[in-house]
Amino acid sequence: MRYRKTLKEAISFEGIGLHTGERSRIILKPSGGNGYSFNFTKSTFSLAHASFSGDGRGTVLHFPGGIRLGTVEHLLAALRGCGVDDVEICVEKGIEVPSLDGSARSYVDLLNRTGFLEKNEYVKPLTISFPVGVDLEEQGSSIFAFPSSSFRITYVIDYENRMIGTQMKSVEVTPETFLNEIAPARTFALEEDMDSLRQKGLARGGDLSNAILVREGEVLTEGGLRFKDEFVRHKILDLIGDLAILDGPPCFHVVCFRGGHSLHLRLARKLIRKKVITL
């Protein structure tokens, strides 16, 4: 067991939203309470107040009064991956979390430089006593959570595009493995999807500095790939961020095949609805 952690001091992030293309600013503050809270100038909410949605291009939190915050997954993954249990997330500007370099690395680097404060209270991990899953046979996608003594993710992706192809990675999620193996992996998109995305009002802030663009036979990004299997590593990053919506450190093994935000969130909803998560 370990003690609950919050931040030693406040830190801020500012940048362009991946989909809105608008500037946004987030301040993370130490929290004396439990869990992740969200401050929107005049209103403060816990994750329990939020509903959530995701379409494969990002996850959105919806709060009472029509308040929303988009593309939350990389920030939430950084907090969960670093083992931050309690934090106040203050939205100073914008309706989307800054994309930074398209990964969680910038968030993690500053979190680690700032440091953490342990509380005199033990963490109560989220555990399950039997398998829970979603099997979309018609789409060839599935996601299952199995009882485990640690938080582990096994992820398989399978793309027709030969620059991505089939990739698989299994990792026990700890602050060390998250920092070194998952946090640097960037979001990606297929070139043939870009026109459709922008017609839908998405990816307006995306460029080669904060995303990997994949065309047939070529990968376009600043500095090339950070890992040969960066694509599946980023899917794991997204899944960690999406499961952070459960507002507690998972202690189970998630196996996902050909997933995305929508499938990740279906698992989260099922875990919540069936009340199979125990503290």
Identify the burial level of 204 via C-beta atoms within 10 angstroms of its C-beta, where 0-12 means exposed, 13-18 middle and 19 or more buried: middle
pLDDT score of 17 more than 50: yes
What is the overall mean pLDDT for the chain?
Answer: 92
**Is residue 210 within 8 Å of 99, Cβ to Cβ?**
yes
CATH of the domain at 65: 3.30.230.20
**Is residue 3 within 8 Å of 120, Cβ to Cβ?**
yes
277 lies in some domain: no
| Least confident piece of the model among 8-22, 66-80, 163-177, 235-249 | 8-22
45 lies in which domain range?
3-124
137 lies in some domain: no
Amino acid at 234: H
* Res 203: pLDDT: 61
pLDDT score of 154 more than 90: yes
Q: Percentage of the chain surpassing pLDDT 70?
A: 94
Q: In angstroms, rounded to a whole number, what is the distance separating the alpha carbons of residues 206 and 212?
A: 9
Instruction: Beginning with the edge strand found earlier in the chain, give each strand of the sheet holding 212-215 in spatial order.
Output: 188-190, 212-215, 218-220
DSSP letters spanning 24-64: EEEEEEE-SSSSEEEEETTEEEEGGG-EEEE-SS-EEEEEG
21 lies in some domain: yes
Reported as a pLDDT band with limits 50, 70 and 90, residue 279 is very low
| Least confident piece of the model among 126-130, 134-138, 174-178, 189-193 | 189-193
User: How far from chain centre, in Å, is Cα 74?
Assistant: 4
Q: Reply yes or no on whether 19 is catalytic.
A: no
Please compute the mean of the pLDDT values over residues 111-132 and round it to a whole number: 94
**Pairing of β 152-158 and β 252-257:** parallel
Backbone angles phi, psi at 7, to 5 degrees: -85, 155
Backbone angles phi, psi at 41, to 5 degrees: 65, -65
* Res 20: pLDDT: 81
* Res 106: pLDDT: 95
* Res 231: pLDDT: 97
30 lies in some domain: yes
Q: What six digits make up the tokens of 226?
A: 């950070």
254 lies in some domain: no
* Res 202: pLDDT: 64
Domain count, the chain: 1
**Pairing of β 116-122 and β 3-7:** antiparallel
**Residue that the structure tokens 């100038």 belong to:** 41
263 lies in some domain: no
Q: In angstroms, rounded to a whole number, what is the distance separating the alpha carbons of residues 2 and 256?
A: 28
Please compute the mean of the pLDDT values over residues 152-172 and round it to a whole number: 96
54 lies in some domain: yes
Q: With CA atoms as reference, report the closest residue to 135 among 237, 242, 244, 270.
A: 270
What is the number of other CB atoms lying within 10 angstroms of the CB of residue 156?
17
Q: How far apart are the first and last CA of the chain?
A: 13
Q: Percentage of the chain surpassing pLDDT 90?
A: 78
**pTM for this entry:** 0.94
178 lies in some domain: no
Please tell me what DSSP assigns to residue 185. P
Please tell me what DSSP assigns to residue 138. G
What is the number of other CB atoms lying within 10 angstroms of the CB of residue 253?
20
Active-site pick, 19, 74, 261, 264: 261
Q: In angstroms, rounded to a whole number, what is the distance separating the alpha carbons of residues 129 and 207?
A: 43
